Structure 1
Amino acid sequence: MRGVGIGFAYLMVYSSPIQVAIILWGLWIISASDYTFLGLSSKEFLYENLLILHDFAYSLFWGSEIWKAYLDFWYQFPLIIMASLKLAISTWLGLWLLKKLK
């Protein structure tokens, strides 16, 4: 069980560069288009740039309206704010887990 926790912690820490890249990509889209800082939602970003990931997330539980409502709730928020929060929380939690489990 400890090995699974350490693996999960490393996954959270090692996914940080991907999250930074998404934040920078979102900032580039904001600066090069008509979107504003608060106007580019996560759903619009995924639908326009990463359609395969958007479709995968919505098809996880076929026909589940609760899952779609859950995703719609979280994807309505601005991309930059949500990605920054996810980056901070997952990196902190990963480092904390590594410290705790090693």
Structure 2
Amino acid sequence: MTQIDDRIAAAAFHRLVEHLRLRADVQNVDLMGQAGFCRNCLADWVSEASEGAIGKEAAREAIYGMPQAEWKARHQAPATPEQLARMAASVALNEKLRATRDA
């Protein structure tokens, strides 16, 4: 497997964050339903990777570009039952894939 240099990975990460900030029209529930991760997941991964140096709320603010509560008030619509069902199926698939990988 080809490894990605940390400098290149960091640049791609920053571009992803900027893209997610630009696409505030895309709901987290839809990201979870289609891709199996959302802005909150990305922020949680940042917090975990920092080994406690960056708390969850600070990481979420870094990803959203503003406090998460403010972003939710500005951009988040109520989730539909269909969106929630897709998200639940996607979360279950994530768990299944992790279990298969770790077996």
Q: TM-score under structure 2 normalisation?
A: 0.30
**Higher Cα Rg: structure 1 or 2?**
1
Instruction: Indicate the structure whose relative CO is greater, using CA pairs within 8 Å and at least 6 residues apart.
Output: 1
Structure (1/2) with the larger helix percentage: 1
